[in-house]
Structure 1
Amino acid sequence: MSNLLKSWPLGFVARALRGFLFAGALALLAACGPGAGAPAADDGMTSPSSADAGEVNVYSGRHYDSDVALFDAFTAETGIKVNLIEAGGDALIERLAREGGASPADIFMTADAGVLWRAEERGLFRPIADEAILARVPAQYRHPDGLWVGLSKRARIIIFNKDQGLPEGLDTYEDLADPAYRGMICVRSSTNVYNQSLLASLIAHHGPEAAEDWARGVVANFARKPQGNDTSQIEAVAAGLCRLAIVNSYYVARFIGSDDPARAAIGEKIGVLFPNQADRGAHVNISGAGVTRHAPNPENAERLIGFLLRDESQLAFAGGNNEYPVVEGVPVEGPIASFGAFRADSLNVSAYGRNQAEAVRIFDRVGWP
C-alpha cells in the first residue's frame, strides 16, 4: 500500500482538499489494512455497520480536509463513525472543561504541544492504555505518562532572503540576539503559541535568565513590530522588508508547492536554515492527540489514534499540512522533502507547556508585543 502513496505526484496530498482522489486513495488505504509495523486493528467483523461498531467523537483544533478523509477511511475499515467538532484549541479546552463528565468528546486533537499541556493542566486527559500506540511514537514526541502522543511534527526554522543571502555567522537560534543582525528580523507576536513554545525550549536548555537575554536581543533586532502570521513573515522576507524571519517549516512548503505561480515565486525567494545542527538540533513541535478524561468510547478513541499512526496514515496526516511524519522510518514526501534531512532537538515537547507561563512573562518584560 505504501507504494501507492509514494506514487502520488509531489504535493498531491497537500492539494487533497481540492479533489476527491485523495479521499478515494484513503478509502483504498483502509481496505488494504494496517501498514507495516503499525498496530493491527481487531478486524473480527466483515464490513461492520456504524451502528454495530459504535462511534468516536473528536474535538479537533486542526482544520484540514485531509484529516476528514482519514477519518472516513477509518470508518470504512472499522464501521466506527467519527463525529468531528472543529474549533480553536483553547476554545475546545474551555468547552471540555465546561462539559465535565457529561462531555461526549473521546479525543482532543490540536496543533501544538503547549496547547496539549493546557488541556493536561485542566485534567482533561486519561492515560493511553495501548502500549502499541506509545511504542509507535518516539519518546520526545509523547507525554512522559502517556497522556497524549504526537501525530505529526514540524520545525520552527529561520528563513532568509536568497538575494541578500544568509548573514555570516548565523547558525543558531541564539545567534538571532547578536547585534550584528540589528534591523533584520521579522516575526509574529509573542501571543502566538509557536513562539511561546520556542522560548519555552530555550528556557529548558539555558535557564530563564539566559532565555530573557535572548528575547531582549531579538527584540532589539526587529525590522518591524511583530504583525501577521507566519505567512506574513515569509512574504515580508521575499519582498526584502526584512532579511530574516522565524517560521514553521510547513508555511514555506505551502509556498514552494503552490500551484499559484505568484505564491510559488515567493517561495523561490526564500532560503531555509535549520538552526543548531552542530549541537542540540532544531526546535520541533507537534500536532497531537489524547483520550479525554470522560471519554464515553475510550477503546474506539485509542483505535482511531492507532490508525493515524500507521505508516500510510502518517504519510497522509502529515502530508495534508506539509508536516513531517512523527513515526520513525516513514518517508518524508511533498515540498518539505526538498529541505533535506535535519537534526531535531531531543527535548521532550512536554517541556514547552511546563515553561509556557515563564515564557509569557519574559516576552512581557522584554517588550515583545
Structure 2
Amino acid sequence: MLNTKVARGLLLGAAALGALAGSVASASAQGVVNVYTNREPGLYSATLDEFTKATGIKVNAIFSEQGLAERIKAEGENSPADVLITVDIGRIQEALDLGIAQPVRSEAVAAAVPAHLRHPEGLWTALSMRARAVYASKERVKDTAITYEGLADPKWKGKICTRSFQHQYNIALVAAMIVKHGEAKTEEWLKGVKANLAKKPSGGDRDVAKDILAGVCDIGLGNTYYVGLMTNGTNPDQKKWAEAINVILPTFENGGTHVNVSGIVLAKNAPNRDNAVKLIEYMTSPEAQRVFADVNYEYPVRAGIAINPLVKSFGELKMENMSLAEVAKNRAKASALVDKVGFDR
C-alpha cells in the first residue's frame, strides 16, 4: 500500500471538494479536476499525484464506499463532480442508470483500452481488471485447470466455499454465464454449484482462503488481487491463508477467463470537462497503468504493461472477450436467478 502521507493528502482533497460543492464558480476554476471515488484513497493517490505533476492540474478527491453516484444525481447541475471512479461493472451500470454520465470521445482512450472494456457509446472506460479466479487447496486439490461450468460437477460436492452470490462480484459472473449460455442453462449451473457447497455462502473472498486452510472446503471463488493483498499485507493470519491456496484462472468452456473492472465515468455536468478528459486519458496511459498493475495487484487494461510478479505467477490470463456492457445488462436477470434457486439460503 502507499504511504499514509499521500493517502492523507487525498482525503484532505476530499475536504476541499466538500467546500466546492457549495460554489459552482469555485468548482469551475481553471486547473482543477474533481474526483468522486469509492475505491480506497491509497489505490489512486500516487497516480493522481503524478497526473498533477505532469499536467499542473490540481486534483480534489472525495472518497466514500457508498452513495457517490446517488450524490452526483442529487447535486444535479450544481455538482462539482467531474469524474466518478468506481469498482465493478454493476456500480458502473448504476451510474449510467441514474443518468449521471456523458460520453467521452478520445482517440487516446480508444487506442489504449480494448473495445469490450469500454462502453460502446463512450459512457465509461475500464481502468484495471481483476479475474474471478478459483482458490484451490495446495494439499487436497491436484487440478490445475477448471472451467466455471465445471464448478457444478458433482466431484466437488461438499467442497466449495463462496461469499454471497448476490454480491456484485458473483452477480457479474452469473450475468456473464447468462450472456454465454442463456438463462435456462445458467439456472441449472447455479443449482449444481449450490449442491456442491460445503457451507452457506458467507464472508468475503479472503474468508474463502481462510476456510480452505481450515479444511472447511477445498475450492472457492475469489478475485485475484486479494491474494496479493493477503500475501504482502501486514496480517500474519492472512499470509497463512494465502499460502494455503493455489490460484487457478478458470475459463468458460471454449472461452476465456471472466474479468471485472474498475472504471471511470465522466460526470454529466462536469464543470471541468476538458481537465476531466485529460485525467481519463492519463489513467489509461502507460505510467498510470503500471501503478495499477504493480501496486494494486490488478491486470492493466492497456497492452504491453508488465504485470506484478505475484499475479504473473498465477499463469497467463486468457481473457473472455465478452462485452462487459452486455454483462451489465444481464445483472438483474442474474440476481433473480440467484434468488430463484435459493443459492444463499
Backbone CA RMSD of aligned residues: 2.2
Shift of the 52–196 alpha-carbon distance from structure 1 to 2, 3 Å rule, reads closer
Query: Residue type of the partner of 1:221?
Result: N
Unaligned runs of 5+ in 2: 10-27
Determine if contact 1:254/1:335 at 8 Å carries over to the other structure: no
Q: In structure 2, the residue corresponding to 1:339 is in which secondary structure?
A: coil
Normalising by structure 2, we get a TM-score of: 0.89
State the alpha-carbon separation in 2 of the partners of residues 262 and 311 from structure 1: 35
The structure 2 residue matched to 1:318, chosen from 269, 293, 297, is 293
Change (3 A) 1:167 1:129: closer
One-letter code aligned to 1:83: N
Task: Work out the CA distance in 1 between the residues paired with 2:293 and 2:273.
Answer: 24
Deviation at 1:16, TM superposition (A): 2.4
Q: 2:137 aligns with which of 161, 179, 182?
A: 161
- Say if 1:277 and 1:342, in contact at 8 Å, map to a contact too: no
Kindly report which structure 2 residues correspond to 1:103-118, keeping only aligned pairs within 5 A, or say none.
103-118=79-94
**Equivalent of 1:282 in 254, 257, 264:** 257
Task: Give the residue type in structure 1 aligned to 2:322.
Answer: L
1:190 offset after TM fit, Å?
2.2
- Are residue 265 (structure 1) and residue 240 (structure 2) matched? yes
Distance 1:335 1:257 in 2: 10
Instruction: Write the distance in 2 (CA, Å) between the matches of 1:17 and 1:234.
Output: 27
Match for residue 138 of structure 1 among 114, 133, 141 = 114
**Which whole-Å deviations, capped at 9, do the CAs of 1:131-171 have from their partners, x for residues lacking one?**
22222101111111111111000100111111001459x62
In structure 2, the partner of 1:308 is: 283
1:181 matched to 2:156 = yes
CA distance in 2, matches of 1:112, 1:292: 17
Partner of 2:320: 345
- Which TM-score applies when normalising by structure 1? 0.83
**Map of 1:3 onto structure 2:** none
* 2:195 aligned residue: 220
Letter in 1 for 2:307: V
Q: Deviations over 1:166-211 (max 9, x none)?
A: 459x620101112221111111112210000000000000001111
- Please point out which of 152, 167, 171 is paired with 1:196: 171
The unaligned stretches of length 5 or more in structure 1 are: 1-14, 24-50
What is the rounded CA distance, in whole Å, between the counterparts of 1:83 and 1:124 in structure 2?
Answer: 19
With over 3 angstroms needed to count, the CA separation of the structure-2 counterparts of 1:134 and 1:77, relative to structure 1, is: same
Per the alignment, residue 41 of structure 1 pairs with: none
More deviation in 224-233 or 65-74?
65-74
Q: Between Structure 1 and Structure 2, how many residues are aligned?
A: 326
Instruction: Give the AA of the match of 2:51.
Output: F
Deviation, 1:259, is 5.4
Aligned with residue 360 of structure 1, among 305, 329, 335 = 335
Q: What is the DSSP-based 3-state SS (H/G/I as helix, E as strand, rest coil) of the residue aligned with 1:82?
A: strand
Q: Aligned to 1:16, what secondary structure does the other structure show?
A: coil
Q: For residues 86-106 of structure 1, what are the alpha-carbon distances to aligned partners after superposition, in whole Å with 9 as ceiling and x for unaligned?
A: 1125x1121111112221111
Shift of 1:321: 2.0
Match of 2:227 in 1: 252
